[in-house]
Amino acid sequence: MFHLGLTQILLLTLVAIVAGIVDTLAGGGGLITVPALLFSGVSPVLALGTNKLQSCLCETSATLMFSKRNTLNLKTLKTGLLFTLIGSMLGTWLLQHTQADLLKKLVPFFLVGVFLMNLLTKYQIVPERAAPSPSSNKSLIPLGLGIGFYNGFFGPGTGTIWAVGLQKGLKLSLKTATMMTKPLNLIGNLTALTIFFGSGQIDLVAGIAMGFGAILGGICGANLVMLKNARWLKVVFNLLMAASIVGAFCAI
């Protein structure tokens, strides 16, 4: 497997801390970590694979937190989890068979699309519901396949896509949709991670270090949300994400 140097790993861990803060305040932390990995000189597939490892650590932490609080019932998500797994397998398989030169050119444009989605997304205000109804399982099939495929092929912004999809498709409140997003995103990440690991497209040390950095950043971000000027922090972080995307274009 490819291995980044110690200095690179330390810098990427610092980037992951910032990305964790960003993800908590504005969403889209992957818009910072993926360009940073690309800028370190690794291939697009290795960058996405290593980023997937750090994402899994973050999603596992959040999923366990919601489960311990008894605010998440995984039984209601069985259909979604299954089809997300299938979609992620297909997306990751296609990624593995996409030419590196083409992928290197596509990644920055994907990042721009996700960035614009984060800026323009407006969530619906709907009554609070603890979980989707049994009849909602049919809606979870296309959502799982489509979003799972995107997660496997690229990844950044998947959490936002899931939240919007669950709100519109299952008519859930933002709070419930956000909680349900964690396990659905996690199963897609774990599926892709397994395939990346099998093909040797992960830097384990960098991915683990970045994962713990992102968790630390998430904790810091949760505290920053309480500040009165949190709105200005979001503006600053959106500018930071835009700068990261420019860096990704420069790395082509």
Write down the pLDDT at residue 136: 63
CA distance 133 to 150: 25
Write down the pLDDT at residue 41: 86
Write down the pLDDT at residue 197: 92
User: How does pLDDT run across 140-155, given as a tens digit for each residue?
Assistant: 999 999 999 999 999 9
Positions of the chain with pLDDT lower than 50, given as ranges: 130
User: How does pLDDT run across 32-72, given as a tens digit for each residue?
Assistant: 899 999 988 888 999 999 999 998 887 787 677 666 665 56
pTM score of the predicted model:
0.85
Please say whether the beta carbons of 239 and 39 come within 8 A. Answer: no
Write down the pLDDT at residue 134: 52
Write down the pLDDT at residue 73: 66
The two tokens of residue 78 are 């069985």
Write down the pLDDT at residue 178: 76
Please say whether the beta carbons of 186 and 205 come within 8 A. Answer: no
The two tokens of residue 22 are 């960003």
CA–chain centroid gap for 142, Å, is 19
